[in-house]
A = this chain, B = another copy of it.
Amino acid sequence: MIMFKKVAIIGVGLIGGSIGLAVKKKKLAQNVIGVARRRSTLRKALRLKSVDAATLSIKKAVEKADLVIIASPVDKIVHLAGECVKFMKKGAILTDVGSTKSFIVYGIEKIARGKVNFIGSHPMAGSEKNGVEHADANLFDKAPLIMTRTKNTDVKSLGKLKRFWMALGCRNLIMSPAKHDYIVSKASYLPHAVSLALTLSQTGDSMKIAAGSLKDATRVSSSDPKLWSDIFLSARKPIIKSIRDFMNKLTVLDKAVRGKDRARLRRLLDKAKRSRDRIR
């Protein structure tokens, strides 16, 4: 079902390309136009049919668009939003898919206010791969997606964007940017930081015998270092807090082992099992 006449996707990498594929597959728009910085990316996106048209020009892409989705690296989102707002029609919807929200949402709201309706989005989908060549129309199927709501949010646009993401298969949650950053840092940035530290603390020999648990626990260490440096720095405070919470829990476990406190250790392991079993 057509929800928007024209959708523009700024940045056609793994996420942007997958959105394009999904929108076209589900026929949610008459026209999907993609923007990239490099001609080679545009050619790839067109060849993979992840967009109907592709351009290097933000102006051309966002003019007359009903929905503009910024799917660039996080450190470029606010700047790109400024470029989009210049050329978007009044009252159109602007969103992003950045994985950090407070900085982005409050930054863009200042620019967008009175012109376009901005709502932050964060689909929790992806993989350690990147690039439009790995795009997948089913990437968002059952993926949790957080949309942000602030005192400036246009409720009608929020409802429309919510239906759009649902049509792509997402399970939507709506919360404040600060709440988003805190729980995402626990659920996504912290596992990443922990995976990195775990990888860095291995030796050649211990890597040689890596079985399931070490492989699983270190898998995300293969992700793009540039992307993750940006994420860590743009969400410093919640990450630092999450690392501190985590260190406290590990210290409790360590103390039980040091103190040969079998009963305490059992209680901790039982508690963790109950918690993890719930998300099987």
Q: Contact partner of A187 among B209, B219, B220, B245, CB < 8 A?
A: B209
| A219-B276 in contact given A201-B249, A233-B257 (Cβ < 8 Å) | yes
Q: Is the CB of A191 within 8 A of B213?
A: yes
Q: Which residues of B contact A151 (CB under 8 A)?
A: none
The distance from the CB of A184 to the nearest CB of chain B, in whole angstroms, is 7
What is the copy number of this chain in the assembly? 2
Assembly CA distance A262 to B203 (angstroms)? 25
Scan residues 209-229 of chain A and give those whose CB is less than 8 A from a CB of chain B.
209-223, 225-226, 228-229
Assembly CA distance A186 to B204 (angstroms)? 11
Main secondary structure of the interface of A (DSSP, over half): helix
Q: Which residue of B lies closest to A205 (CB)?
A: B183
- Chain B CB within 8 A of A48 CB: no
Q: Which residues of B contact A225 (CB under 8 A)?
A: 266, 269-270, 272-273
Q: Which residues of B contact A233 (CB under 8 A)?
A: 257, 260, 262, 265
| A interface list, Cβ under 8 A from B | 124-127, 143-144, 146, 173, 179, 183-184, 186-188, 190-203, 205-223, 225-226, 228-229, 232-233, 236, 239-240, 242-243, 245-250, 252-254, 257-258, 260, 262, 265-266, 268-273, 275-280
